[in-house]
Amino acid sequence: ISRVPGEHSPSLCILADTRQICSGPEVLSCLRAGHGLRVQVCSLGSSDYIVSNRLAVDRVLQSELQSPGNRNKLSQRLQRLQGISERICVIVETDRVRPGETSRCFQRTQHYDGVLSALVQAGIRILFSSCQEETAALLKELALLEHRKDAAIQVPTEPEGHGRDILNFYLSIPNLSYGAALNLCHSFGSITAVAN
Amino acid sequence: PVTAGSIVVPLGHVIGNEKWRGSELAQRLQGKVRLIFEDGLGLVDFHLPNRTCILLISEADLVAGDGFKRRSVKFRNASSLRGIVIVEKTPISDQYYLGVQKLVVLELGMVLLPVANQGEASQLIIQLVSFCVREQSRERGSNPFVGRQRARPAEPAVLQALQRIPGVGRTKALLLLQRFGSIHRLCNADTRELEQAVGQTAAQQIYTF
């Protein structure tokens, strides 16, 4: 755990999915170094980030919303997430222009507007970001906001030994989020206590 | 002031603020949706079906200062309708976007959608309207992002959960499930009962877990 001492409240914690190490390394390093948040990378599976006990965040690239090909994948993912998490936020990030590549003009498609409409109607919060740094800043804002609403993750996020096994047990319960499983670990002495 | 929390917009219609008459946006909307102009909509630029209002913030509004902020806050405080703020995000107004987003989405809890110009705004509004039409005409649940609650059988899940107990594989999990039926009963079983289902060692492991 990287805990940067600073004026930020040290309890501010974000869980990140392991896949983000590859797809969003700058988001992670900005969160840690730039904003001084505690970032715990774990295999969340369901969402890219968990910002509070009730808010899950998915990071999608603008190009993914452009083409109808991705629609099914995205909708399945968000549907599953809705079963798990009370609130969902999608951060739409502008694709990075690789060096040597001329900046492609963003062509707004009908499909893109359609997806946005569907997201809005589904009550999913949408944020727009132009780069990974901005995404990190947005995640921090979300975490702060949830902290103010007393929904922040405030339990230890890295159980060891026996606690690890128990966490894995809770994680196998369908529709239980990683955050909820952590909370169960923390607030109950044993599985028997939860079952009763 | 915000007016008419109670405007009911028929499907496929849009009620536009009089000030948009003759604009590029309005011209592009016409023919695609049924656009009706009305006076005195106050803060709102367009009323859509489904109790949704659109506030449009132009590039010029963004650059000019805080007027649009007051407008959004006023709308939020005065209306129970869903507010969608459409903002012109251009190379010039780009620098203000993050601030607007923070206010509108994070603080006011409204929806904010960026467009590059009025043309894109009209496309977006058309999609918002036609989405409502599609959703109404089909049975509910046509929205790909609204999860359908499917009752899934619990047993496979229980079986998987049991296999997370150290020392328990598929075979023992099946045995345990047969004998105890539920996690609840398993938790309250004592070592002797467990021993009858699985061996002594495993029973001890399960009990301590």
Q: How confident is the model over A122-158, as pLDDT tens digits?
A: 888 999 998 899 999 999 999 888 888 877 777 776 6
Query: Which tens digits make up the pLDDT trace of B19-52?
Result: 888 888 888 888 788 888 888 777 888 888 777 8
Task: Calculate what percentage of chain B has a pLDDT beyond 90.
Answer: 2
Residues B129 and B175 in one domain: no
Residue from the list B135, B164, B165 with its beta carbon closest to the beta carbon of A121 = B135
Mean pLDDT computed over every residue of chain B: 79
pLDDT at A136: 92
Residues B17 and B53 in one domain: yes
Residue B2 clears pLDDT 50, i.e. is over it: no
Query: Which tens digits make up the pLDDT trace of B56-71?
Result: 998 888 888 788 888 8
- The answer to whether residue B104 is domain-embedded is yes
pLDDT at B63: 83
- The answer to whether residue B167 is domain-embedded is yes
- The answer to whether residue B142 is domain-embedded is no
Q: Do B147 and A80 touch (CB under 8 A)?
A: yes
CATH of the domain at B45: 3.40.50.10130
Residues B83 and B171 in one domain: no
Residues B39 and B111 in one domain: yes
Which of chain B's residues have a Cβ under 8 Å away from the Cβ of A120? 84, 111, 113, 128
- The answer to whether residue B40 is domain-embedded is yes
- The answer to whether residue B148 is domain-embedded is no
CATH of the domain at B173: 1.10.150.20
Higher pLDDT, B41 or A8: B41
- The answer to whether residue B7 is domain-embedded is no
Residues B131 and B158 in one domain: no
Task: Calculate what percentage of chain A has a pLDDT beyond 90.
Answer: 13
Query: How many structural domains comprise chain B?
Result: 2
pLDDT at B75: 85
pLDDT at B4: 47
pLDDT at A103: 56
DSSP state of B19: G
- The answer to whether residue B102 is domain-embedded is yes
Query: Which tens digits make up the pLDDT trace of B160-192?
Result: 777 777 777 878 878 877 777 777 777 777 777
User: Which stretches of chain A sit within 8 Å of chain B by CB?
Assistant: 71-72, 75, 78-80, 82-83, 106, 108, 110, 113-114, 116-122, 124-128, 130, 134, 137, 141-142, 145, 162, 165-166, 168-169, 171-174, 191-192, 195-196
SS (H, E, C) A40-108: EEECCCCCCEECECCEEEEEEEHHHHHCHHHHHHHHHHHHHHHHHCCEEEEEEECCCCCCCCCCCCCCC
pLDDT at A101: 60
Taking the CA of residue A8 and the nearest CA in chain B, the distance in Å comes to 19
Residue B13 clears pLDDT 90, i.e. is over it: no
Residues B59 and B33 in one domain: yes
Q: For residues B43 and B41, what is the distance between their CA atoms, to the nearest angstrom?
A: 6
- Angle of helix A178-187 relative to helix A162-171, nearest 10 degrees, comes to 130
Residues B133 and B178 in one domain: no
The predicted model gives B93-117 an average pLDDT of 88
Higher pLDDT, A36 or B80: A36
Among candidates B188, B154, B158, which has minimal Cα distance to B175?
B158
The model's confidence at residue A81, banded by pLDDT at 50, 70 and 90, is confident
Residues B126 and B172 in one domain: no
**Cα-based angle A172, A176, A178 (whole degrees, multiple of 5):** 85
Residue from the list A113, A120, A191 with its beta carbon closest to the beta carbon of B84 = A120
The model's confidence at residue B139, banded by pLDDT at 50, 70 and 90, is low
ipTM here: 0.78
Residues of the domain holding B50? 13-137
Residues B133 and B194 in one domain: no
Residues B111 and B189 in one domain: no
Residue A60 clears pLDDT 70, i.e. is over it: yes
Residues B51 and B97 in one domain: yes
